[in-house]
Amino acid sequence: MKKTHLLFVLGFALTAALAPLCYGQGLTLQRDIVVGPGETQENVVLLGGSARVDGTVRQSVVALGGNVVISGTVNDSVVGIGALITLKSTAVVKKDVVVIGGKLTREPGASVGNDTVFFDLSRLVPGFMKGGTKGFFSLSIVPLILILKLVAVFIWFLMTMVVAGIFPKQVAFASSQVRTSFGAIFGTGFLGFIIFTGVIIISAFLCLILIGIPILLTVAVAAMCLRVFGQVALCHFFGESLSRSFGKHNPSTLGASLLGLLIVSVIGFIPVLGLLFSFVLSIVGFGVAIRTKFGTAENWFARKQAQTPASPQA
């Protein structure tokens, strides 16, 4: 499978799993997208195909494969995975430009507010994707466990870019709740983890009579959404905390999330401690995603209680 095809499939699967988050966020999700001069759009998400932005995108442009040409304004970040990104001379990107495994063309005069990151996979591991699986097994010097960990880190890197790029406000809000309500979030995550595990086991048994298959798939997708969003929110929490300790008090959501992912990944490589840390991280991630309703409410359960009519006074 070619590199761009692999990234496309991965991105498509992730975006499908995150579909519940997309409701009401003003996303455009289709093959060919055009934001004409004078037009304004909330977000642009491209899965293959092509996109041209001559107008204004209020938040982010995220491309999983395909070709993106920007000559207008993007108020947040531009993220490309296996995509061809072209910034024309009139392009204005107010935050970051991150391109992984694709190609970045930036004409003179194009404005980028924060960082520009271009990661060329073919130069990092020459012939890795060209040789198919042969390139993978030829790395016999590196222990298999290390390779698997590096692959996992790379997958989380892609997921972090997609989630933090599409939902920066929700990720930042959920991250802020970790600092103020850690105990409640941990308790919610622990209880949610037990419930999800029980439902998955019951659904697996019900698969013997077919009725459990749709239940199992639904629960698996829901658990994946919670896991991914919660992990990204925690990465943002760690990255923002480290940035503040060095005096940078307003880092971009994408930059803080990627910095936090670096911290989490390094700790994850420590034997035993890394495994325990990852387990606790999963519980807290579940809790912050559930309690904040994917970064859209301070306390989902308290909000429901507030809607219950108060009992009449005597």
Residue in this structure with the two tokens 């296996």, named with its chain if needed? 82
Edge-first strand listing for the sheet containing 92-93: 40-41, 56-57, 73-74, 92-93, 111-112
pLDDT tens profile 235-266: 889 888 888 877 777 778 888 888 888 888 88
Residues 60 and 160 in one domain: no
Domain membership of residue 156 as a residue range: 150-305
Q: How many domains does the chain have?
A: 2
pLDDT at 133: 39
Residue 286 lies in a domain: yes
Tokens of 204: 């697996």
- Distance between CA atoms of residues 233 and 76, nearest Å: 18
- Average pLDDT, stretch 200-204? 76
In this prediction, residues 215-224 reach a mean pLDDT of: 78
237 and 208 together in one domain? yes
312: in domain: no
Task: Tell whether 192 and 220 lie within a shared domain.
Answer: yes
Q: Is pLDDT of 4 > 50?
A: no
Is residue 314 included in any domain, yes or no? no
CA 4 vs. chain centroid, Å, equals: 18
Query: In the chain, what is the greatest distance between 2 CA atoms, to the nearest angstrom?
Result: 79
Q: With a cut of 50, say whether residue 269 has pLDDT above it.
A: yes
Considering the domain architecture, whether residues 214 and 251 belong to the same structural domain is answered as yes
Q: What's the confidence (pLDDT) of residue 134?
A: 41
The predicted pLDDT at position 296 comes to 83
Q: What is the mean pLDDT of residues 6-34?
A: 47
From 120, 141, 162, the end of a domain falls on 141
Distance CA 46, CA 74 (A): 15
Contact by Cβ (8 Å): 234, 288: yes
Residues 220 and 242 in one domain: yes
Name the token pair of 153.
């880190």
246 and 295 in a single domain? The answer is yes
For the segment 215-234, the average pLDDT, to the nearest whole number, is 83
Q: Which residue would you say has higher pLDDT here, 293 or 203? A: 293
Predicted pLDDT of residue 70: 94
Arithmetic mean of pLDDT over the chain = 75
One domain, residues 234 and 131:
no
The CA-based angle 137-138-140, given to 5 degrees, is: 85
Measured CA to CA, the distance from residue 116 to residue 125 in angstroms comes to 21
Average pLDDT value for residue range 45-56: 85
Q: Quick one: what percent of the chain has pLDDT higher than 70?
A: 74
pTM across the whole model: 0.54
Average pLDDT over residues 225-235: 88
Task: Say whether both 130 and 199 belong to one domain.
Answer: no
For 208, residues 6+ apart whose C-beta sits below 8 A from its C-beta are none
Most confident of 96-100, 229-233, 254-258: 229-233
For tokens 């008090």, name the residue. 249
The pLDDT assigned to 120 comes to 64
Residue 299 pLDDT > 50, yes or no? Answer: yes
The C-alpha atoms of residue 196 and residue 206 are separated, in whole angstroms, by 15
Task: Give the Cα separation of 291 and 252 in Å (integer).
Answer: 24
pLDDT score, position 140: 41
